Amino acid sequence: EDYYVFSLTDITKLKEKSNLFEYQASHDKLTGLFNRNKFDEVYSKELKRSKRYNNELSMIIFDIDDFKMVNDNYGHQIGDDVLKEFSYILSQNIRNVDTLGRWGGEEFLVVCPETLKDGAKDLAIKLNKAIKLHKFSTYPHSVTISVGVASCSVNDLNYDDIISNADKALYEAKNNGRDRVEIF
């Protein structure tokens, strides 16, 4: 007579934990957006894809104007609420092919594959308007953003150049009075 022993293990909890760790490693804890590491990974792939298929690639960088005053005058909890709502508004107004990430503090980036400078500029203007018109739930004032846009055609620029150019445009927006979109 043969005897068999079967052992069954439910790995559902292990898989859930694994998925949670993966999510935590790639997403910003506060906003739920891609963190800088994950954004870098996605951006790097998009840059390679852009070069391979000879497509344009655009980058938009956002900075919340005078965000320090939000924290200083209303506290960090309200500041966090603003960042969460801000992230949600951005995520609801970009295209499915765009990738949004939190770059740090109150800076956010969107990579726009297969997008010419004019298309990225139109998106940036749309996002600027959406933020300005939004009534924040715990912050009684409107929020404005300064926005920098940069684009490249294939083989024009490398990874750092596009971000650097978008950043230069962002500083131009700040220097020209904030609450505006500037193109590099």
- Positions annotated as catalytic residues are 106
Sheet with 180-183, strands from edge to edge, namely 99-104, 107-113, 57-64, 145-152, 180-183
Kindly give the interhelix angle for 36-53 and 159-175, rounded to the nearest 10 degrees.
110
Quickly tell me which residue has 């980036």 as its tokens. 109
Rounded Cα distance between 164 and 132, Å, is 26
Do the Cβ atoms of 34 and 100 come closer than 8 Å?
yes
Dihedral, CA atoms, 46, 47, 52, 56, nearest 10 degrees? 90
Q: What is the CA radius of gyration of the chain?
A: 20
Element (H, E) at 111: strand 107-113
Rounded Cα distance between 119 and 123, Å, is 6
